[in-house]
């Protein structure tokens, strides 16, 4: 949807962008990484069928996640 301005489900072009930028964001548009690091998520919503995509748009945030992804967790201590 973000890339071609068309809903992948119903092919409508009636889309809305819900920006994940502070201060307009609520807790649903924020990915809390640490106590001091938040990543803002932008949502694209089709107002015809309700389908939604979420994107992280800042390249710096994607780089941060890529570095954190190197730290694999085997969930061996998961309860």
Model confidence at 36: pLDDT above 80: yes
Q: Residue 34: inside a domain, yes or no?
A: yes
Q: Residue 1: inside a domain, yes or no?
A: no
CA distances from 21 to 44, 47, 48, 65, 66 (A): 14, 21, 25, 18, 21
Q: Residue 75: inside a domain, yes or no?
A: no
Peptide bond into 23 cis (omega under 30): yes
- Report d(CA 17, CA 28) in Å as an integer: 14
Q: Residue 74: inside a domain, yes or no?
A: no
Q: According to the model, what pLDDT value does residue 46 have?
A: 97
**Higher-scoring residue by pLDDT: 50, 18:** 50
Chain segment 55-77, per-residue pLDDT in tens: 998 999 999 888 876 666 666 66
Q: Residue 50: inside a domain, yes or no?
A: yes
Q: Residue 7: inside a domain, yes or no?
A: no
Query: How many structural domains are present in the chain?
Result: 1
By residue range, what is the domain housing residue 35? Answer: 15-69
pTM (2 d.p.): 0.72
Q: Residue 2: inside a domain, yes or no?
A: no
């Amino acid at each position: 949807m973000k890339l071609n301005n068309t809903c992948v489900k119903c092919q409508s072009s009636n889309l809305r962008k819900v920006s994940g930028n502070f201060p307009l964001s609520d807790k649903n548009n924020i990915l809390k990484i640490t106590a001091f690091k938040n990543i803002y998520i932008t949502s694209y919503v089709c107002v015809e069928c309700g389908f939604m995509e979420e994107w992280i748009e800042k390249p710096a945030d994607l780089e941060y996640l890529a570095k954190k992804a190197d730290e694999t967790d085997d969930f061996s201590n998961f309860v």
